[in-house]
Amino acid sequence: MADSIATYDYAVLRVVPRVERGEFLNAGVILFCRTKRFLAAAVELDRARLAALAPISFDSDAAEEALATIPALCAGEGPIGALAQAERFHWVVAPHSTIIQASPVHCGRCSDPAAALEHLLDRLVRR
């Protein structure tokens, strides 16, 4: 018997080293599937590609550290992690940083949210 198909929402996590230039580097994906009770983020910062966009003074370590908190929040860590999954997803994708930003929220359909997250990471973040 095939797994049931469910809808999900996702956003691409971006590092924006120079807000005034509007340039960004895709560095992760967050995926929320309410019906399967799934919320997760995967982050992979390509420092070599970031160096091509970022000024010398840009703190790549701080950006990577900020990105690393997102999967932890999705997993339920920290004060924000105490929120319900939907609230955590909406908190992460809401604008509150100039350096780490989320794309607009998009939707899709899948039977396996973890596989969908990996697929999106391959398509939108990895080379």
What phi and psi values does residue 65 have, to the nearest 5 degrees?
A: -65, -45
Cβ atoms 78, 54 nearer than 8 A: no
**Average pLDDT for residues 89-110, to the nearest whole number?**
94
Paired tokens of 101? 């930003």
pLDDT of the residue at 25: 95
**Average pLDDT for residues 23-30, to the nearest whole number?**
96
Q: How many CB atoms lie within 10 A of CB 114?
A: 14
Paired tokens of 115? 């596989």
Which 3 state secondary structure label does DSSP give 70? Answer: helix
pLDDT in tens, 64-73: 999 999 999 9
**Average pLDDT for residues 21-40, to the nearest whole number?**
96
pLDDT of the residue at 96: 85
Residue 48 has pLDDT above 60, yes or no: yes
Phi-psi region of 22 (alpha: psi -120 to 50; beta: other; left: phi over 0): left
Q: Which tops the pLDDT comparison, 83 or 54?
A: 83
Domains of the chain, by residue range, sit at: 15-122
pLDDT of the residue at 1: 41
Residue 118 has pLDDT above 60, yes or no: yes
pLDDT of the residue at 2: 55
Q: Is 31 exposed, middle or buried (0-12, 13-18, 19+ CB in 10 A)?
A: buried
